[in-house]
Chain A
Amino acid sequence: MSEPILKVNNLSKRYRLGAAEKGYKTFREAVVEGITAPIKNWGKLRRLTNFQNGNEEEDVLWALKDVSFEVAEGEVLGIIGRNGAGKSTILKILSRITEPSAGLVEMHGRVSSLLEVGTGFHPELTGRENIFLNGAILGMRKREIERKFDEIVAFSEIEKFLDTPVKRYSSGMYVRLAFAVAAHLEPEILLIDEVLAVGDIAFQKKCLGKMGEVAHEGRTVLFISHNMGAIRSLCSRAIWISGGKLVKNGGVDEVIRGYEEQQLGNVDDLSCVLNRNPLQIENQSFYFSRVMISDTENNNTNLFKYDDRIVLVCDFNGDPGDSFSPEFRIYNETHQLIATGASAAFHSKYFDRKVRQVKIVIGPLPLTSGKYHISLSVMVNYDRRDTWENAVCFTISECQPFARSWNIESHTDGVCVIKHTFSELAN
């Protein structure tokens, strides 16, 4: 094995959180506070950069704690973890924006970081001027930018607006130009934070394609993303950071599996077994008392993938007086009705008045990634006896219906997935 191009050794970083502000109770307190505030403020501001070693202080947050890993030359390493896990802190230290509190990093080669697209863009300057400014900010020399100028412009697709101030650009144009500059960096080590979460889908794909190209050119890339599809398709190895610590370091599939399993395990039981709020059922003779959401193997969960089945188990209370028939409605995040189901109306299925539990299996779900909620109601003799709005929520965490799609990420466009084919016709 060759010498690693990047070596991270016991890297730690601490931040001081601002102390909570107190509210004043009386006028006197407010006045006293006002007078003594400068002294306190001074102490507080000074403490931002002063840390005591040894004894732990309570308002100190270790954003990273003893993280060590190595990256071989030409390797593309994915960094995954939840928000606030410390992923970006790693890249900030590696790109020398901030300094570690402890530990050591050794790197060989030119490093460029892309923590945000369009850093340093000035709204008043034209596209042309911003290409040069942004390029220089990202560490390119003027000659280098001049050499790549035409390529950058072509990639960004904004030729016509090159001499327009970027403040007049649409956000899409802005992002395209910004990414175009960044995409033409030629460092040996490239650090990228989730910058693909911008622009329209088509442009995201273009960016991802460009990144794949960069990765295959033999550059070393460290790539943060929440998009497991992108990580899978770009990276060979991944590290998983949680709470500032390195949890797992290994092959990309293995690490992602571990991460996803833990994410699923984190599902709150409370959100899978839902008891009815007593206030909603006052004076009702027959009603939903509880609903449970699980997968087909009876594991309580509200995280599903495209094509999964949802199992709802509804408990009823009271006496309907006659046979009854439940119904459900699925809404998306924007409260758009996606689908409905009804036992009587659709299936001529009625339940005996003595039945206390009904199981509903919904699926396979043709839904795109996103959050959904289900409302339940129950009919007795054409009369809607009880409606439980937003009874239960679920999330489609992954939607990759097409085997050979670009793996950009879960499909989020549209409300559902319709299978289709393309083929050419001979004329």
Chain B
Amino acid sequence: MEKVTVPPVAAKPSLVIKPRKGWQVINFRELYDYRDLFYFLIVRDIKVRYKQTVLGGLWAIIQPLFMMIVFTLFFGRLAGVSSDGVPYPIFNYSAMVAWTYFSNAITSSSNSLIQESNLISKVYFPRLLAPLAPVVAFLLDFVVSFIILIAMMLYYGIHPTIMTLTLPLLVVLMMLTASGVGMFLAALNAQYRDIRYTITFLVQLWMFASPVVYSVSLIPEKYRLIYALNPMAGVIEGFRSALLGTVAFPTQMLLVSTLVSVVMFVVGIFYFKRTERYFADVI
């Protein structure tokens, strides 16, 4: 066996371990160094999700599609909720695509540390990767269900508006919100398992606080900006406006939503960094 050429001690990167207190800075360099692990965690999430299922990747479509059918029956037909002049199914599905992504991403992200508790207690890696991986991994489901949306637009003969170009930004906004919420709840969840049970109805309540089954036009004009404090309200309204051209592009709402989303992300990431030092001890 050949000898490994070892550089002198002083030349090697040095690491100091000591008790930390309070808020922590984010080590972007380290996150970048671990990009391969991040990639493999995402790949694992995607590969494992529909393993040993009959329908496989179809599940990515079934969930929003069936929700849309149920909502169309109850809200569209029975309750007669207004759908801004487009057929209720596509009105609802355009929101459902974003909402399904968001609810899956935050649920999965919040439970990520518990899910990975074995990893957390046996090996070091930047803990942030755990809640962030599902946020990225669910994008694939999002894309698949989006294809159905395109098919529906073709079927109903709806042309997307020029604002469709803002779609990538809306997706980023949606991911940013999901990451912020995910990181925050994951960190809380590590210590207080109550979060696990809270998340289920948080997602349900949040859906009704977002314009999924109803239209933003139900909300009085003067309350719109307050309503936009829910970043998903901005995202979903943006989606509808851009793709279906139902209402004017909600620029103001989106500005508010973006601001809130950024705040959520910052709070989430810093709370996570502050608490991550004891994850392995309490999980």
Contact residues in B for A217 (Cβ distance below 8 Å): 1, 3-4
Asked whether, in the complex, the Cβ of B6 is within 8 Å of the Cβ of A102, the reply is: no
Asked whether, in the complex, the Cβ of A216 is within 8 Å of the Cβ of B1, the reply is: yes
Interface size on B, residues (CB 8 A): 43
Contact residues in B for A137 (Cβ distance below 8 Å): 37, 40, 119, 123, 125
Question: Given contacts A49-B282, A97-B123, are A125 and B48 in contact (CB under 8 A)?
Answer: yes
User: CB < 8 Å: which of B15, B18, B122 contacts A116?
Assistant: B122
Contact residues in B for A140 (Cβ distance below 8 Å): 36
Least CB distance, B131 to chain A, in whole angstroms: 16
User: Can you name the residue of chain B whose Cβ is closest to the Cβ of A115?
Assistant: B122
**Chain A binder among B73-81, B235-243, B260-268, B273-281:** B273-281
Asked whether, in the complex, the Cβ of B281 is within 8 Å of the Cβ of A125, the reply is: no
Near B by CB (< 8 A), chain A positions 93-142 give 93-111, 113, 115-116, 119-120, 122, 124-125, 129, 132-133, 136-142
Whether a CB of chain A sits under 8 angstroms from the CB of B14 is yes
Whether a CB of chain A sits under 8 angstroms from the CB of B162 is no
Whether a CB of chain B sits under 8 angstroms from the CB of A353 is no
Contact residues in B for A309 (Cβ distance below 8 Å): none
Whether a CB of chain B sits under 8 angstroms from the CB of A188 is yes
User: CB < 8 Å: which of B39, B119, B281 contacts A120?
Assistant: B119
Contact residues in B for A95 (Cβ distance below 8 Å): 123-124
Least CB distance, A188 to chain B, in whole angstroms: 6
Question: Given contacts A45-B192, A96-B124, A138-B123, are A120 and B118 in contact (CB under 8 A)?
Answer: yes
Asked whether, in the complex, the Cβ of B12 is within 8 Å of the Cβ of A108, the reply is: yes
Q: How far is the CA of A97 from the CA of B264 in the complex (A)?
A: 27
Asked whether, in the complex, the Cβ of A106 is within 8 Å of the Cβ of B9, the reply is: no
Asked whether, in the complex, the Cβ of A218 is within 8 Å of the Cβ of B36, the reply is: no
Whether a CB of chain B sits under 8 angstroms from the CB of A3 is yes
Asked whether, in the complex, the Cβ of A122 is within 8 Å of the Cβ of B14, the reply is: no
Whether a CB of chain A sits under 8 angstroms from the CB of B44 is yes
Whether a CB of chain A sits under 8 angstroms from the CB of B120 is yes
Whether a CB of chain B sits under 8 angstroms from the CB of A205 is no
- Please name 8 further chain A to chain B contacts, defined as beta carbons within 8 Å, in addition to the given A49-B191, A218-B3, sorted by A numbering: A3-B10, A73-B6, A73-B9, A115-B122, A119-B122, A139-B37, A188-B6, A217-B1
Chain B residues proximal to chain A, CB less than 8 Å: 1, 3-4, 6, 9-10, 12-20, 36-37, 39-41, 43-44, 47-48, 51-52, 116, 118-125, 191-192, 275, 277-278, 280-282
Sample 6 A-B pairs with CB under 8 A, ordered by A number.
Answer: A5-B12, A49-B282, A98-B277, A111-B15, A122-B44, A136-B41
